[in-house]
Structure 1
Amino acid sequence: MKSAVETLSPTRVKLTVEVPFEELKPSLDKAYQQIAKQINVPGFRRGKVPPMIIDRQVGRGAVLEQAINDTLPGKYVEALQENDLTPLAQPEIDGLEIGDDEGFSFSAEVDVKPTIELPSYEGLTAQVDDVVVSDEDVEEHLQNLRERFATLVDVERAAADGDFVVIDLVARQDGEVVDGAEVSGMSYRVGRGGMIDGLDEALAGAEIGTEKTFTTQLVGGDLVGQDVEVTVKVTQVQEQQLPELDEEFAQLASEFDTVEELTADLRERLGRGKRLEQAAAARDAVLEALLEKVEVPLPDALVTEELNARRESVEQQLVYAGMTMEKYLEEEGQTIEEFEADLERRVRDAVAAQFLLDEIASKEELGVEQAELSQHLVLRAQQSGQDPQEFANHMFAHNHIPDLIQEVLRNKALQVLIDAATVTDASGNTVELTNLRPDGTIAEPAAEETSEESAEAPEAAEEPTEEA
């Protein structure tokens, strides 16, 4: 087999492949055998029809076509490997020709992973915000904790922001009740939002027995985006009463005896969470610093595919949240053009980062052990809320294991970047990333005992540790 590559762009090539008859013949023999089992020819047993009879009955061209279809995919893969190309999409096969010697040739255009001149990633620097836990942060979480133990008390007054109301609600279009848009006895917190536009405004100031009708648009179902008339009736108004912030509450809501101990624990846990957020920001900042040092060509088709997937994901999340895109953009203070531009920028950065991390993984000759893959499988299953075994079975059944291996390699490549970089916070302090645990605490650096130190203190090495 001979192959040649024509570079159409930094991310797209045209492969021309010539396959001689000798390499097609095994598939041709196989095609004759298969066809012989499928046809009936008087005087010959099924499966024993000679090739020359098959040529007369079926046609040599049909046999060649079957043999070529069987051979071509393997020769395409062989040509990719021969030219050290990594495809990013399905190829566009064209120019199939059968030669006089009954060999064949074809061409294939395909998007491929770009060649990247990897810059040095030693000495990268990045800066992130300080870890700050404010009194307001602690107060907010204390308030949330108190709300978990709050009680609801019926009140004989108009509903106010923060009250819970029991409502009957029905949506109609042209006087007909919308299928699935009628509920009774539903509890709803005034001012919470996230259901349908106009509901909070209708409920604010409404008393028991009050019935209001307003025009809005549904965010789900067959009539999504269409105007409907919604009638809501308040049947009950309840006020939330929070428990006193005292020792009794601390003991009820936690393992601590005093409010001071509970507050200190909340502050510590918030600090750990913010430390993890800082670490995530640090990783992004280091990767961004490397991206600024290199130009990564991106295949338009891959960017478009990822862009559509991200856009669809955002739209689904908005539907689950009961929010329209218009409402979301209004809250974010963005126009649709700004949203699209920001989304495309983030997609391009993400795709470029993947290519860079793949190059680093290759340069560093990183590998994936079975234990690492298993751990990643469990983590992905937890993130998706699935049973780890069921998730693993799905990944194997749908051939997604190579994708998971690639994710592990990219994570390890990113860690290589992190280890080689210096990250500081806004105050100039070095951000600890190497010894950061998954719960946000910082482990003690592993003791690196030299052979000289070991020789000087043999007795100490024999003493049991506290853990033992």
Structure 2
Amino acid sequence: MKSAVETLSPTRAKLTVEVPFEELKPSLDKAYKQIAQQINVPGFRKGKVPAAVIERQFPGAAREQALNDILSAKYAEAMQDNDLTPLAQPEVEVTKYDDQGPLEFTVEVDVRPEITVPDYEGLEAVVEDVEVTDEDVAEQVTALRERFGTLKDVERAAADGDFVVIDLVATRDGETVEGAEVAGMSYQVGRGGMLDGLDEALTGLSAGEEKTFSSQLVGGDLVGQEVDVTVKVTQVQEQELPAADDEFAQLASEFDTFAELEADVRERLGRGKRLEQAAAARDAVLEALLDKVEIPLPDTLVTEELNARRQSIEQQLQFAGLTMEKYLDDEGKTIEEFEADLERRVRDALAAQMLLDEIAQGQEFEVTNEDLTGYILRQAQSQGQDPQQAFAHIQEHPHHLQEYAAEITRGKALAMIVEAAKVTDKSGNQVELKNLRPDGTIGEPAEDATEDATEETTEA
């Protein structure tokens, strides 16, 4: 087989492929045998019909069947011979296919561009300091106390933070909206997330009072439509929290004193903030690396990813009971700003994937079963999915493992780059990333562990 490549653009190539007849013959012979098994011709046993007879009875059928088999194999071979990586479905045109002559065809396809990896040693990035304030600790402790709080009825108007029991009904043009009527529902004033205007309507209402306001439905067939909502308060309740003392610490935790509980909360917040800082460091280092290289992207690939992202966002908004218009209004964005931001993020993500793939190829990272298991578990957790369901999905669709392996190697490549970078916080302190554990604690340097092991061996 002969092939030649013409570069149409940095991300698109045209292959011209010629396959001699001797390489076509095995596929043709296979096609004739398959057809012979499927037809009945008087005078011949099934499966023993000669090729010439098949050709007279079904002219061109074998050649057509063989072509489908040949094209995919020879296309893949030509791409490999010319060191090209496809990024989309190819456009194939058969230009010559004679009975005894060669097969000639052309292929136009979007391909991975050639990328010159920039020097990533000593990249610099600055991230926010890790700071756990007294307010952070107090907020977490209050949330814990609220879990053990009790409610008591009060004879006063509802205020922010109170719990109320309400009856609610939405009407449109005087008719009750189906599915928009509830009774005896408990709701915390100021919590938000249910109906716009509900918190404002409830504030100041006492038990037995009601109020009507206008809002938009967040679900059902009339999502986003203006309706009149009448809410009636039947109970106003105040939450009483347990005292922040040693007795509460013993009730809510394994600690004997409240001071120990606060210290544990502060430590856990610190670990979480270190992990957030590490994530910010990875993003900052990757951004600094991308700034050093220009990576052309195929328009078709960008368009496909944009459409996929839009669909995902629309599904999430629908699940949350929001329209795109409502979401944009809440975010203070125009549709043009939303689209521009989305395209920027898509282009950055695709460029990062290609660059990290290029770096990973030069490192030959190993992807272990432990890596794959950890990745699947993290994916399941982030999507709120049962891990068993995630593993069952992989068994049914094993081709996803290749995608997961690619993501893992990209992660290893990025981790290598980040470890080689100089990352400091805004106070000028070096950020510890190499020895950061998944739980947010800082481990011992690997070098020190090796030295300790050597010393112990020597002493023994």
**What SS does the aligned partner of 1:29 have?**
helix
Contact 2:223 2:323 in 1 (8 A): no
What CA distance in whole angstroms lies between the structure 2 residues aligned with 1:22 and 1:276? Answer: 61
Pair 1:220–1:92, CA change in 2 (3 A): farther
Q: Which residue number in structure 1 is paired with residue 331 of structure 2?
A: 332
Pair 1:41–1:153, CA change in 2 (3 A): same
Pair 1:219–1:24, CA change in 2 (3 A): farther
Shift in Å at residue 401 of structure 1? 0.6
Contact 1:194 1:323 in 2 (8 A): no
- What pairs with 1:61-76 in structure 2 (closer than 5 Å)? 61-76=60-75
Question: What is the root-mean-square deviation in Å for CA atoms of aligned residues?
Answer: 2.5
What CA distance in whole angstroms lies between the structure 2 residues aligned with 1:117 and 1:460? Answer: 47
Contact 2:151 2:237 in 1 (8 A): yes
What CA distance in whole angstroms lies between the structure 2 residues aligned with 1:117 and 1:41? Answer: 61
- What pairs with 1:47-196 in structure 2 (closer than 5 Å)? 47-59=47-59, 61-99=60-98, 101-196=100-195
What CA distance in whole angstroms lies between the structure 2 residues aligned with 1:180 and 1:108? Answer: 55
Pair 1:458–1:408, CA change in 2 (3 A): closer
Pair 1:290–1:459, CA change in 2 (3 A): closer
**What SS does the aligned partner of 1:191 have?**
coil
TM-score by length of 2: 0.92
Q: Which residue number in structure 2 is paired with residue 466 of structure 1?
A: none
Q: More displaced, 210-219 or 262-271?
A: 210-219
Shift in Å at residue 396 of structure 1? 4.1
Q: Which residue number in structure 2 is paired with residue 7 of structure 1?
A: 7
Pair 1:393–1:5, CA change in 2 (3 A): farther
What CA distance in whole angstroms lies between the structure 2 residues aligned with 1:423 and 1:407? Answer: 23
Q: Which residue number in structure 2 is paired with residue 255 of structure 1?
A: 254
Contact 2:295 2:351 in 1 (8 A): yes
- Partner amino acid for 1:279? A
- What pairs with 1:356-375 in structure 2 (closer than 5 Å)? 356-375=355-374
Residue 17 of structure 2 is aligned to residue 17 of structure 1:
yes
What CA distance in whole angstroms lies between the structure 2 residues aligned with 1:90 and 1:396? Answer: 26
Pair 1:179–1:319, CA change in 2 (3 A): same
**1:54-94 CA deviation, whole Å, 9 max, x = no partner?**
222221x2221111012111111111111111111211223
Pair 1:49–1:233, CA change in 2 (3 A): farther
What CA distance in whole angstroms lies between the structure 2 residues aligned with 1:107 and 1:179? Answer: 59
Q: Which residue number in structure 1 is paired with residue 275 of structure 2?
A: 276
**1:426-460 CA deviation, whole Å, 9 max, x = no partner?**
11111100111111110121344899995xx6787
Contact 1:194 1:321 in 2 (8 A): no
Contact 1:128 1:423 in 2 (8 A): yes
Pair 1:141–1:458, CA change in 2 (3 A): closer
Contact 1:286 1:418 in 2 (8 A): yes
Q: How many residues align?
A: 459
What CA distance in whole angstroms lies between the structure 1 residues aligned with 2:317 and 2:135? Answer: 29
Pair 1:228–1:29, CA change in 2 (3 A): farther
Contact 2:271 2:439 in 1 (8 A): yes
What CA distance in whole angstroms lies between the structure 1 residues aligned with 2:422 and 2:225? Answer: 53
- Partner amino acid for 2:446? A
TM-score by length of 1: 0.90
Contact 2:215 2:229 in 1 (8 A): yes
- What pairs with 1:396-407 in structure 2 (closer than 5 Å)? 396-398=395-397, 399-407=399-407
Q: Which ranges in structure 2 are unaligned for 5 or more consecutive residues?
A: none
**1:103-123 CA deviation, whole Å, 9 max, x = no partner?**
322222221111101111111
What CA distance in whole angstroms lies between the structure 2 residues aligned with 1:69 and 1:202? Answer: 68
Q: Which ranges in structure 1 are unaligned for 5 or more consecutive residues?
A: 463-468
Contact 2:224 2:322 in 1 (8 A): no
**What SS does the aligned partner of 1:44 have?**
coil
What CA distance in whole angstroms lies between the structure 1 residues aligned with 2:202 and 2:94? Answer: 68
Shift in Å at residue 292 of structure 1? 0.9
What CA distance in whole angstroms lies between the structure 2 residues aligned with 1:258 and 1:449? Answer: 35
Q: Which residue number in structure 2 is paired with residue 27 of structure 1?
A: 27
Q: Which residue number in structure 1 is paired with residue 239 of structure 2?
A: 240
Shift in Å at residue 352 of structure 1? 0.9
- What pairs with 1:375-454 in structure 2 (closer than 5 Å)? 375-398=374-397, 399-448=399-448
Q: More displaced, 399-408 or 31-40?
A: 31-40
Residue 46 of structure 2 is aligned to residue 46 of structure 1:
yes
**What SS does the aligned partner of 1:137 have?**
helix
